[in-house]
Every structure is written in structure tokens, then in C-alpha cells.
Amino acid sequence: MTNLTTNTIEHNIRNNMLLKHGSPQFIDKICKNSHTFQVPKNHIFFLREQQAEHFYIVLHGWVKLFRESIDGNQAIIDVLTSGHIFGEGALFENMIFPYSAEAVESMQLIRLPLLSLKNEIETNPKMSLAMLKSISKHKNQKNMELEHRTLQNAPQRIGCFLLKLLPKPESKEAQDIQLPYDKTLVSSRLGMQPETFSRALSKLKKEVNLEVKGGSITVTNVEKLTLFCCSACSTIFPCGDHE
Amino acid sequence: MTNLTTNTIEHNIRNNMLLKHGSPQFIDKICKNSHTFQVPKNHIFFLREQQAEHFYIVLHGWVKLFRESIDGNQAIIDVLTSGHIFGEGALFENMIFPYSAEAVESMQLIRLPLLSLKNEIETNPKMSLAMLKSISKHKNQKNMELEHRTLQNAPQRIGCFLLKLLPKPESKEAQDIQLPYDKTLVSSRLGMQPETFSRALSKLKKEVNLEVKGGSITVTNVEKLTLFCCSACSTIFPCGDHE
DNA sequence: CGAGGGTTTGAAGTGCATCAAATAGTGTGG
DNA sequence: CCACACTATTTGATGCACTTCAAACCCTCG
């Protein structure tokens, strides 16, 4: 392990919303027991139901967390990128991963020992409070997603997804967005078919004056977009369904 | 407050999955600061966005937790009965209720001080761990619900709802079920219209040999029902989407 | 018995899925 | 740098699931 990677790892751990609340000893320990590695595109590197010994931080690239039904369909749990951790949920599931994880593209990860985290949560009140905050936030996002599925149609859900990508959420100015991963994945993240996504996006485009060129989208009228999406929803953007 | 109610309250607190992990001083304190009261049918007794000072335990009856969109539709978050607590989520939302609460029928509640709970979580590691377990479980249920919305159709979602009501989940015998609240509410809990519910239930009835008489349902073939619902899902019943 | 809410049924419409095929875009080896 | 292969995306045609609107039915309760 080069000094550079060590620094990168430490930097990532110290900046992670959850881990940074750990004690110095804890940080030290997991840094020492950490490991970075590369995952090739489309590689599934752990499976749901599998015994969990590690959790992960994304250094670079995107991971897809998902579950598969008996008859072969999949439901996307989340799609994460740099700085986000995952796999830690196994702590509350008898050390069994509650979802599978696949590299959306070639990707770099930090692997960290789950037992150390478990121990830190159990012994450091600061850490367990941080964990509470973190899970609670996730739970809220899930509630928002469920609300979206219930109350919003396909174009509105797409619009909401775009709003979350705005570089300056608070500003009303025209803004450029780049879709973070391919449209097929976006569509399944939003619980619809690729064809539906395509058609819904062009409907949205007409409705709120987007400019779409491949994965690049310009939102000319943020207010119009906000109104279009959030009127079906319990909260107006920015609504907390973030990160 | 009669002695009887005091005992009832204490009994409920000591048996609550979350609160029972509190310290004796905490239990004492919240018992002293507790209050039971009756809520008439259809009464909305707190609103989303409202400042939260209390959380609640259901003594008797059913509460509907929900959010309302700008243009007047509602999304059901949960429907709870005896022994369940709610409103505690405000702790992680700057003491603001993240949903509204309405009595589905005339109902009895225990009201408890939220700040005491906050304090206990912050000072008693046992309690914060219990809270972690509790929220984590809720988060999982939300993930399951989202999966169901994505992968199951209306009859399957209803079937899944019925499975959770089985008095002997592990047994394969024919079993009787009573719908816990009216069909309109069940349907919106499952994210569908009452008409859809009605039609989907009769489809399910043909498909897996149910006997339906108003709100009473006999599942004659548990295995068939399980297969029908869970083949669309990532886990076979009993699947953890419970309580 | 009659009023009112819950539930079912019917008819028609809408949105999304599915299947099939065309098109655009990307990376590869020559 | 081009042609090819392969994948992502779009478009068209059609079907199905769920919704919507309307009306009938049923049940309970005063």
C-alpha cells in the first residue's frame, strides 16, 4: 500500500459523514485494516444473503445496490458514488448483506472491517448517535421515494431526479445537468422501463422547457420544473429527498 | 389519573420494544409525565410540519400516519395499533413531525414527552442501540414496501398483506383472517384505489382459493398464496416485512 | 325504515409495459 | 481513420393494469 493510498483512505474516512464521528483509536484501527481495490465494470462483488465481514466506501465510480426476485426481476435499492458508504446495514441484519452490490462502471472502493464499526457503535455514544442520524436520514429518503411512487407519475419522478442534480439548488437560474449514469439505470432507479423513461423525458422536456442532448440536460426554468414535480408531492423542492 | 390507568401505562411502557430498554429512572420519569387520552374517530391530532413535544403509544384502536400532497392526494406512511409507538421520528427531524396522524376509529393513546426520550437516547447507550435497531427495522420495511411496489402487482400486494395477518405464519394449514381496518384504508395502505382493491381481491380469491366474506377471509392454501405473492419478490414468506 | 358510508360492479380512459424494430453512440480491431 | 460489432436509446404498435367516473348494492345504525 503506497503512502498516497493511505492518505487517500484516511482522508475519505475522516470526511465521511458517519465515520468522522468515530474515536481516534477507531479511525486509526480501521485505517490500518483498510484496503482499496478496483472492481471491474458489471462485476457483482457481493450478494444479498451473503455473510458480511466488511463494509465499503466508494472512492471512484458508481455502485448499484439491488435485490432480485425469484422470477428474475430486480429492484434497485440505491446507486451510490464517491464518498458514500454501503454494506454497513448488515450490522442490523445479523451480519448478512440485505442487498447485492454491482459495479456500474469500473470502480474503486475502500474495504473496511464491519466488526470494528459494530464495536465502535456499541462503545462510543457519539458514534451510535451519528449512526442513528444516518439511518434515520436513509429511512426518510425511503419514505419520500415511496411517496413519489404513490403520488407522482413518470415525468414528475424524472423531474424530481433532475432537481436533485442541480448544481445550485437554491438558484432559479438556468442550469446544466449531466446525468450521472446511463439512462437505463436511471429509469430502473426510478422504477420504470427504459422506454417509459425516454418517452416521459420528452414529455417533461415539452412541459417545462428542457434542452436535452444525450445525457446533458439544461433546465431553463427551475421554477416551472419545481412546480411541475412538487405539486404532486407533500413538500416543495428542496425537499430533503437528497444525497 | 386512576391507579388502573397508571398500571396500564407502566405496563405498556415496560413492554414496548423500544422503551423497555430505558433506564429505571427514565421509565419512572416518563410514566410520571405520561397522559392517556381518547381520540375520536377521524380526528387529526397532529399535523406534519408541526412542532413536536410528545410521542405516543397506541393503547387501543388504529392510527393512520400520512402525508398530503400540494394538490390534495395522500400517501399513507403506516397504520398502527396497540403497543406501537409513533411520533418519535421527530427526534431526528429537528423536533418536527414528519407526517400527520389521524384516528382511524375512536382510539386511546398514551402521550409521552419527546425530550425525555431524546435525553435518554443521548445518555444511555443501551437506549440508543435499541433505537438503532428499531429504526433500522423500519427502514427495512420501507425497502420491502418499495420493492413490492416495484415488483408486485395489485393481487400480489394484497396477498402479501394477508400473509402478514396469518395467526400461525409458519403453519401450512387453512387459517382465518380478519381485515384489521376497512378495505378503503387497506387499499390506500397498499397504494391502490378501492375499486382496484376490490377487483384484485376477487382475482386473488380465484387464483389461490380464498373464501371472502366481508372482512373475514379464509386462506385455504397458504402455500399457494405464498407462491403466488413471493415469486415476484426477493424473499419468500415469511420475509421480514412485518410488524 | 331510511340515511350514509363502505363496497362492488360496469364502462371508458390513461399510463405504463411489452415487443419489435430502427437509430444513435461507443469502442474495437484492422 | 474507417468499418464493424455491440450497446444504449428512441420510436412505433399494441396490450394490460390500474384509474376514473358513475351507479348500484349492501350494511350498519340511529
pLDDT, tens digit, for every residue of B153-193? Answer: 999 999 999 999 999 999 999 999 999 999 999 999 999 99
Is residue A243 in a domain?
no
Strand partners, A60: A108
Asked whether residue A21 falls in the same domain as residue A128, the answer is yes
Give the CATH number for residue A195. 1.10.10.10
- Beta-carbon contacts of A60 under 8 Å, excluding residues fewer than 6 positions away, are A82, A107, A108
| DSSP element (H, E) containing A101 | strand A100-103
Q: In A, which residues are within 8 Å of B75 by CB distance?
A: 146-147, 150-151, 234
Whether residue A82 is found in the same domain as residue A162: no
Q: Is B190 left (phi over 0), alpha (psi -120 to 50) or beta?
A: alpha
What digits encode the pLDDT tens for the residues B80-119?
Answer: 999 999 999 999 999 999 999 999 999 999 999 999 999 9
Q: Say yes or no for a CB contact (<8 Å) between B151 and A69.
A: yes
What are the pLDDT digits (tens) for B41-92? 999 999 999 999 999 999 999 999 999 999 999 999 999 999 999 999 999 9
Q: Which of A138, A160, A195 finishes a domain?
A: A138
Residues B55 and B112 in one domain: yes
DSSP H helices in A60-193: 114-123, 125-151, 154-165, 183-189
CATH number for the domain spanning B71: value is: 2.60.120.10
Residues 6+ apart with CB under 8 A from B235: none
- Decide if A235 is inside a domain: no
**Same domain (yes/no): B119, B162:** no
Residue B34 lies in a domain: yes
Residue A122 has pLDDT above 90, yes or no: yes
Residues A110, A188 within the same domain: no
The 3-state DSSP composition of chain B as helix, strand, coil percent (nearest 5) reads 45, 25, 35
Expressed as residue numbers, the domain containing B165 is: 152-230
Q: Is the CB of A203 under 7 A from strand D?
A: no
Report the nearest residue to nucleotide C15, CA vs C1'. Answer: A153
Average pLDDT of the residues in B226-234? 96
The whole-angstrom separation of Cα B66 and Cα B79 is 9
Q: Are residues B101 and B21 in the same domain?
A: yes
**Substitution target from B47, B149, B234 for chain A, most A beta carbons within 10 A:** B234
The β-bridge partners of B178 are: B216
8-state DSSP, A47: -
Nucleotide at minimal C1' distance from the A195 CA: D10
- φ, ψ of residue B82 to 5 degrees: the values are -40, 130
CB contact under 8 A, A92 and B129: no
- B158 grid coordinates: 394484497
Element (H, E) at B63: strand B63-68
Position B182 in a domain: yes
Among B138, B169, B191, residue at a domain's last position: B138
The pTM (predicted TM-score) of the whole model is: 0.95
Task: Indicate the SS3 state at residue A166.
Answer: coil
CA nearest neighbour of A121 among B122, B125, B21:
B125
Tens digit of each residue's pLDDT (9 = 90 or more) over A4-32: 667 889 999 999 999 999 999 999 999 99
Residues A93, A208, single domain; the answer is no
The x, y and z cell numbers of residue B101, run together, are 396522524
Question: Is B183 within a domain?
Answer: yes
Q: What does the pLDDT read at residue A177?
A: 97
Cβ contact, residue pair A128, B133, below 8 Å: no
pLDDT of B149 strictly over 70: yes
A40 pLDDT above the threshold of 60 = yes
- Same domain membership, residue A132 and residue A172: no
pLDDT at A241: 64
User: For chain A, what percent of residues have pLDDT higher than 70?
Assistant: 97
Q: Does residue B52 belong to any structural domain of this protein?
A: yes
Q: Which of B138, B164, B198 is the last residue of a domain?
A: B138
Give the integer Cα–Cα distance in Å for A196 and A211: 19
Rounded-to-integer distance, Cα B238 and Cα B164, Å? 8
Residues A26 and A103 in one domain: yes
Q: At what angle do helices B154-163 and B194-208 cross, to 10 degrees?
A: 70
B74 and B190 share one domain: no
pLDDT tens-digit series, residues A58-70: 999 999 999 999 9
Q: How far is CA B71 from CA A157, A232, B45, B67, B74, in A?
A: 16, 6, 22, 12, 9
pLDDT tens by residue, A204-242? 999 999 999 999 999 999 999 999 999 999 999 988 765
Answer whether residue B239 is part of any domain.
Answer: no
pLDDT at B172: 94
DSSP symbol at B165 = T
| DSSP structural state of residue A68 | E
Q: What is the mean pLDDT of chain B?
A: 95
B214-224 pLDDT per residue, tens: 999 999 999 99
Q: No. of H helices and E strands in chain A?
A: 8, 11
> What's the pLDDT score for residue A240?
73
* All three cell numbers of A213: 442532448
Are residue B29 and residue B88 in the same domain, yes or no?
yes
- Tell me, yes or no, whether A8 and A66 share the same domain: yes
Task: Give Cα separations from A108 to A35, A71, B93, B123 (angstroms).
Answer: 10, 31, 33, 38
Q: What is the pLDDT of residues B137-148, one digit of tens each?
A: 999 999 999 999
Overall number of domains in chain A: 2
- Residue B242 domain flag: no
List chain C nucleotides near protein: any atom < 7 Å from a Cβ: 6-11, 15-20, 25-26
